[in-house]
Structure 1
Amino acid sequence: MNKKTRHEPHEEHADESWLLPYADLLTLLLALFIVMYAMSAIDSKKFEEMSEAFNSAFTTGNGVLSFNSALPSDKNMDKGKKDSHENILNNADKQKQKSQLAKQEQEDMEKLKKQLDQYINNNGLTNLLNTKLNQSQLTITISDTALFASGSAVVKPESKQLAIAISNMLQQFPTYNVVVSGHTDNVPISNSEYASNWDLSSDRALHFMKILLQNPNLDPEKFTSTAYGEYHPIASNVTEEGRAINRRVEVSILRKYTDVTQETSVKTK
């Protein structure tokens, strides 16, 4: 009797095709975590290199890591830094230039004041003229008695030399704006020529400015005349002495740079 060959039953193998998508999913998850880590480090260059590497590995059209446009490139970052640096340098240069111009202006004002003070002392005019330099202007104050007869705006013939002397000093600094202003006391004018102190102060400023501008080296565009009447007193109008101080003509040489580091104030002579 033939022995029948006994065969062990074959084991049934389970379907393992699910491993492929599972492995792909794990790979994508790993890539995602690597990308998130790279983004947290904010290293755009490394992130770009990593993105290119993964896009090469997963050649399925546009790569899943194509986020280059979301981050600034090194080239753009370098350009921004360069522009910022240039702006800082330009601002520093402008500030330095402005400081130098303000320094030169201060020297100009001090030089002109010194010349005026010397002229006043040499001609015995200390009771009629004075100068004052502050942060906004250099002011020459001239008493009305040094220039005009009472109630008149016509400059005395003997006083024209004073205007000529001032104009000769001003011509050394032709770029500065000059304001000539007329002032009176508060006593109402009482003559047929002028209806008010406004009119008198206006004519006095204008007439004196015209004598200054007889100097052809001065630019009329830089000059302005104005009238303040009785409304800008520098002393009390209660006393005759105070009223005499208020009757005046002022020649103001205006600064262009009022932000000098220190305000220079010179005592009134």
Structure 2
Amino acid sequence: MAQKKTNIPAWMVTYADLMSLLLCFFVLLLSFAEIDAEKFRRVAEELSKAFGVQREVEATQIPMGTSAVFQQFSPAVPDRTLLDEVRQRTTQQQPQLESMRSMLEAQRQQRTLQLAASLEELLKTSSLEGVTDIEVDRFRVVVRIAEQGTFGSGNAEVTPAFAELLEELATVLAAVTGTISIEGHTDNVPISTSRFRSNWDLAALRASSVANILVSTETLSAERLMIQGFADTKPLASNLTPEGRAVNRRVELKIDINDPIEEREERSIRSMENSLSDVAAIQPAP
């Protein structure tokens, strides 16, 4: 049979044998080689020094940072003459700031009293005069409205007379600035119906009913209103008597007189007073 020819050159056979012999030769050399550990360590140390390889060095004290500002400069000590002038101007400005602050507070107090007078005049002409009470607490007017004649017993339905009064109140409250908190209160007699699981539900829904009527007039902004239900947690009288429980069943409208512009002015005055106090506390140079 004739031998099949291939395309592999003849010299490839010799080259492959040579590579195999070289591989065996280097493997044999490696098997006879021995590593000098001490010499290897010295060479490694020299290489680490030459190429900047860092080593772990145990620190006995935590290094503290420094600042070029502290090294080159020292804090200035205030001059006595200049400080005396500043303190003199501060002493002159302090009464002015106190006067401005007192004037702003007097304006708020005057608006509070005017609102209270307007509400009293309105309640005098109402059929619910005997069940309402007005109290002034600095910049706040509190209108207390008893349950009698305003809500049915054990429900949150507003009577027609109370609804008419609330519509007139909305017109008066729309003419002043400030937030209005509507709070519902009950006595300590438990309630459990299909609509009210507890006095908390009853108190909150009564406050909500008042807010709905105030907003329905479209004269009072809803953003000014806040509704809260306190159940029997804030009684005005003892719950041991029928008269005391009747006093505790009520709705309160708390009107806080405030103005955004005046509040900003008061904050500015307060900030200036604090700054003047800081200036007065600076110690002069000896």
TM over 0.5, shorter chain: yes
Distance (Å, rounded) in 2 between the aligned partners of 1:168 and 1:215: 8
TM-score, L = length of structure 2: 0.58
Q: Show CA shifts across 1:175-205 (max 9, x none).
A: x222110000000013110111111101111
Q: Which residue of 2 aligns with 1:239?
A: 241
Once the two structures are TM-superposed, the CA of residue 233 in structure 1 deviates from its matched residue by 0.8
Aligned residues, how many? 186
Residues 180 and 205 in structure 1, CA contact (< 8 A), matched pair in contact too = yes
Instruction: Return the offset for 1:223.
Output: 2.0
Matched residue SS, 2:130: coil
1:129 aligns with 2:152: no
Q: Which of 141, 145, 148 is the matching residue for 2:148?
A: 145
| Helix, strand or coil at the partner of 1:98 | helix
The question of 1:156 aligning with 2:159 is answered yes
**Whole-angstrom distance in 2 between the partners of 1:93 and 1:177:** 30
- SS, match of residue 145 in structure 1: coil
Which residue of 2 is the match for residue 36 of structure 1? none
For 1:14, the equivalent position in structure 2 comes to none
1:186 and 1:237 in contact (8 A); partners too: yes
Cα distance in 2, alignment partners of residues 70 and 121 from structure 1: 69
| CA shift for structure 1 position 255 | 4.8
Whether contact under 8 Å (1:151, 1:191) holds in the other structure is no
Q: Where do 5+ consecutive residues of structure 1 fail to align?
A: 1-68, 258-269
Task: State yes or no: 1:112 paired with 2:123.
Answer: no
AA matched with 1:105:
R
Contact 1:182 1:205 in 2 (8 A): yes
Contact 1:182 1:227 (C-alpha < 8 Å) held by counterparts? yes
Amino acid at match of 2:196: Y
Aligned to 1:52: none
Q: Deviation of residue 78 (structure 1)?
A: 4.2
Question: SS state of the match for residue 148, structure 1?
Answer: coil
Kept in 1, the 8 Å contact 2:127–2:161? The answer is no
1:206-237 per-residue CA deviation (whole Å, 9 max, x = no partner) reads 22122222344433333211111001111111
Counterpart contact for 2:111–2:257, Cα < 8 Å: no
Which one has the bigger helix percentage? 2
Aligned to 2:106: 103
User: Is the CA contact 2:166–2:210 (under 8 Å) kept in the aligned structure 1?
Assistant: yes
TM-score by length of 1: 0.61
Alignment of structure 1 residues 176-255 onto 2, 5 Å: 176-255=178-257
Give matches, 1:44-123, under 5 Å. 76-123=79-126
How many angstroms does 1:70 deviate by?
11
Distance 1:165 1:80, change over 3 A: same
Identity of aligned residues (%): 28
* Superposition deviation, residue 117 in structure 1: 1.5
Gaps of 5+ in 2: 1-73, 263-286
Q: Name 1:165's counterpart in structure 2.
A: 168
**Cα pair 2:185 2:234 within 8 Å, conserved:** yes
Residue 142 of structure 2 aligns to a residue whose secondary structure is strand
CA shift, 1:251, in A, is 0.3
Using a 3 Å threshold, how does the CA distance of structure 1 residues 240 and 172 change in structure 2: closer, same or farther?
same
> Against the structure 1 CA distance between its residues 70 and 188, is the aligned structure 2 distance closer, same or farther, given a 3 Å change threshold?
closer
